[in-house]
Amino acid sequence: MTEANAGVIDHAASHTPPRKRRIRWGAIGDHAVLIVGSLFMMLPLLMVLQMTTVPDVEVIKTGPSLTIGHQLPENFDKAMFQASGFSGQNTGLNMLKNSFILGIGFALGKILIGMMAAYAIVYFRMRFATLAFWVIFTTLLLPLEVRILPSYEVVQKLGMLNTYQGLIIPLIASATATFFFRQFFRSVPEELVEAARIDGAGPVKFFIDILVPLSRTMIAAMFIIMFVYGWNQYLWPTMITTEEDMFTLVRGIKQITQVLEGNRIPEYGRANLLAIIAIIPPVMVVIFFQSWFVKGLTESDK
Amino acid sequence: MAQVSLKNIRKVYPNGAEALTPSSFDIGDGEFVVLVGPSGCGKSTLLRMVAGLEEITEGELTINGRVMNDVDPADRDIAMVFQNYALYPHMSVRKNIAYGLKNRKTPKDVIERKVAEAAAMLNLNEYLDRKPSQLSGGQRQRVAMGRAIVRDPALFLFDEPLSNLDAKLRNQMRIEIKALQRRLGVTSIYVTHDQVEAMTMADRIIVMNAGRIEQIGTPAEIYHRPASTFVASFMGAPPMNLISARLDGGRVMINGDTVLAAAEGSGAVTLGIRPEDVVLGAEGSISFHVDIIEELGAHRLLHGRLADQEFTIHVGKDVEAAPGETRIALKSDAITLFHPETGKAL
């Protein structure tokens, strides 16, 4: 605001005869802080990127350096297309695929379940609807880590170890999404429901024709949050997947750096490159959806 | 077109509040009935019960002879226009209008033809592909009307459709709605808290207060022969003057002045007279003190005190008036007498 005001004043002043432009030290200070801050945040990433370009031996010998080597194509090839384990299945490409399936399945599942739960709670006259909502809400206090053993047992008994459904389904019941959609649905005007009823739309039609399109910005916002959250899952995939072809990226990277035993040098270049690859999709999702994200959480176009 | 009949319809909410005492009335084919009353008088509840959006606690609602108490709103052959339009924000005007038809599995070509007809009737042709958010309030209201008329319903229900519009647009839409209803000849129930809308649009007005029907009648009946002091003070702007008077030996007296020579009974009484039914002049039998003069261009309102009670007179622009004491006479055929306690007309 002050910047904008300063601009206006400058503009007005420019009508008067040429005058030395005042240096705004405040703005320079602000930008300096921002630049230093962003460099500080990016430095570790840049270091990781640098390490992917030099031979692994050099990382051990010299540690982080400023040299940029020629190993990037080779490391990329190793990271994406060569398997590190015994089965030959856990190539980077395969892990990327698994991560995408987990991330997208996780996000879509959470959105679907959350929306339907919120729809039931908000629009249907049920006994104990509020109680049901608060019970769902309290599950926020019981994250996966708390119930991981029983969850594992259930999944194991259902024979879903090393399957995508085993990876996704136990995680998709979501208090967060239910909460957000409940708040959103409550802000949808009552008359819309009544108009739809008079227009002959039953509950399912109303949900699909009216409520889902109305919620699209909200769905996008939820998708971002949930995709990133699902993508970054570590503990659950580690427990559920024992077969290498089911590994996700986040879990697979660990596997690569684990070979420190013996006289082999850990494949730093490969692991670091995989780490970078693992960062890219969530970043892309956030960049592409961010305008929707802001809309979803702030706009009220009803 | 339809005949609507309500028999002892009553509404009690689960918390025990009685929103509507048992009420009965009939609406004839093609009639335009306006429900009017202050907020919370039960008029919207009544409309919503006719629409099927609110359950009927007791009584019987029939449309064209068919009992509708437990029929789904979609199957009552009604269309409703809401106060805030209730357009589907993500659909174009065309889709908004067509949605009800689509849900009834109407063939595509029929839908297209009907939407085009409705759009032409409402001057919406150039807006068909816009979203509601790109329209003005009046246009949105027209879309809501379009959504109602494409369905060819037996009954239109309007729930304060004009109260979100500014005054000028409201006058214009009032006329448009009335003209449209005339042209289509569809039976209509219209809810409003604005007595001007009620007076100007209705074939018949139903005045409601505190969950009760106060009076049913044509605008002229309601205006000139109010059935209670509530109706008298609610309808008309400025409202009817209500003055306590005494009935004595067949004459109505205010402060010892006889204002009406022939009336039956005796005791306290409330006298009602419209501000325009008062004649200003030295030969008048009653003294009146003018406090404030409101200049309204075409006419003036004189606010003051008559026998120490508030009183308003409506005079033409050519009538001279000044603050202070003056004398007035009441047109005797325009006087209505009310019971002082129950407020019912005598």
The answer to whether position A104 is within a domain reads yes
Q: Which of A189, A201, A216 sits opposite B103 (nearest CB)?
A: A201
d(CA B325, CA A147): 88
| Domain B239-338 classification at class level | mainly beta
Sheet holding B155-159, edge to edge: B78-81, B155-159, B187-192, B32-36, B204-209, B212-217
B98 vs chain A: nearest CA distance in angstroms? 9
Among the partner residues B51, B89, B104, nearest to A200 by beta-carbon distance? B104
Give φ, ψ of A162 to 5 degrees: 60, 35
SS3 A57: helix
Q: A-side interface with B, Cβ within 8 Å?
A: 189, 191-192, 194-201, 205, 209-210, 213-214, 216, 301-302
Q: What's the CA gap between A276 and A267, in Å, rounded? A: 14
| A280 found inside a domain | yes
Dihedral angle, C-alpha A275, A281, A286, A288, nearest 10 °? 150
Give chain A positions within 8 Å (CB) of B84. Answer: 189, 191
Note whether residue A109 is domain-resident. yes
Residue A286: give the domain boundaries.
92-298
How far is B87 from chain A, CA to nearest CA, in Å? 7
Residue B249's alpha-carbon distances to B256, B331, B336, in angstroms, are 13, 20, 18
Domain assignment present for residue A63? The answer is no
Is position A65 within any domain? no
pLDDT in tens, B126-167: 999 999 989 988 899 999 999 999 988 999 999 999 988 888
Computed on alpha carbons and rounded to an integer, the radius of gyration of chain A in Å comes to 26
If we measure between CA atoms, which residue out of A143, A262, A205 comes closest to residue B100?
A205
Q: Which stretches of chain B sit within 8 Å of chain A by CB?
A: 51-53, 72-74, 78-80, 82-84, 86-91, 99-100, 103-104, 133, 147
CATH number at residue A164: 1.10.3720.10
B195-217 pLDDT, tens digit each: 999 999 999 999 999 999 999 99
Decide if A189 and B84 are in contact by the 8 Å CB cutoff: yes
Of B78, B82, B99, the CB nearest to A191: B82
Q: Token pair for residue B148?
A: 């109602």
Instruction: Look up the CATH superfamily of B4-233.
Output: P-loop containing nucleotide triphosphate hydrolases (3.40.50.300)
A122 assigned to some structural domain: yes
Contact B89 A197 (CB under 8 A): no
Does the beta-carbon distance from B74 to A192 stay under 8 Å? no
Residue B146: closest CA among B93, B109, B183, B103: B93
pLDDT of the residue at A259:
59
Distance CA B58, CA B66 (A): 16
The residue extents of the domains of chain B are: 4-233, 239-338
What's the pLDDT at B252? 83
pLDDT higher than threshold 90 for residue B24: yes
Among chain A residues, CA nearest to B84: A191
Identify the weakest region by mean pLDDT among A14-28, A37-51, B234-248, B256-270.
Answer: A14-28
* A-to-B residue pairs, Cβ atoms closer than 8 angstroms: 60
Structure ipTM: 0.83
Q: Are strands B187-192 and B155-159 parallel, antiparallel or unpaired?
A: parallel
**Average pLDDT rounded to a whole number, residues B271-294:** 88
| A53 found inside a domain | no
For residues B160 and B83, the answer to whether their CB atoms sit within 8 Å is yes
| Cα of B167 to nearest chain A Cα, Å | 23
Q: How many structural domains are present in chain A? A: 1
Which chain A residue is nearest to residue B51, measuring alpha carbons? A198
- The pLDDT of residue A1: 40
pLDDT in tens, B55-95: 999 999 999 999 999 999 999 999 999 988 899 999 999 99
Q: Do B89 and A214 touch (CB under 8 A)?
A: yes
How far from the centroid of its chain's Cα atoms is residue A208's Cα? 26
Quote the minimal CA–CA distance from B345 to chain A in Å: 39
Q: Which whole number is the average pLDDT over B279-306?
A: 88
- Label residues B30-62 b or e (16+ Cβ within 10 Å = b): bbbbbbbbeeebbbbbbbbbbbbbbebbebebb
Q: Which residue in chain B is spatially nearest to A205 when comparing CA positions?
A: B103
Contacts of residue B106 in chain A, CB cutoff 8 Å? none
B88–A210 C-beta distance less than 8 A: yes
State residue A5's pLDDT score: 46
Q: pLDDT at position B312, please?
A: 93
**B103 to A210: CB separation less than 8 angstroms, yes or no:** no
Q: Which stretches of chain A score pLDDT less than 70?
A: 1-20, 84-88, 257-264, 297, 299-302
Yes or no, beta carbons of B86 and A191 under 8 Å apart: yes
Question: With contacts defined as CB-CB under 8 Å, which chain B residues touch A200?
Answer: 74, 100, 103-104
Q: Which two tokens stand for residue B108?
A: 């595509």
Q: For residues B245-265, give the mean pLDDT.
A: 78
Check CB contact under 8 Å for A191 and B147. no
In chain B the beta strands, taken as DSSP E runs, fall at 4-12, 18-27, 32-36, 58-63, 66-67, 78-81, 155-159, 187-192, 204-209, 212-217, 241-248, 251-254, 257-260, 267-273, 278-280, 286-295, 299-306, 309-316, 324-330, 336-338
* Model pLDDT, residue A3: 44
Query: In this complex, which of B84, B133, B147 lies closest to A301 when CB atoms are compared?
Result: B133
Nearest C-alpha of chain B: how many angstroms from A214? 6
Q: For residue B184, give every residue at least 6 positions away whose Cβ sits within 8 Å of its Cβ, in sequence order, or none.
A: B149
Contact B99 A199 (CB under 8 A): yes
Residue A263 lies in a domain: yes
Over chain B, what is the mean pLDDT?
Answer: 90
Q: Give the pLDDT of residue A9.
A: 46
- Chain B residue numbers with beta carbons less than 8 Å from the beta carbon of A194 are 51, 53, 73, 80, 82, 86
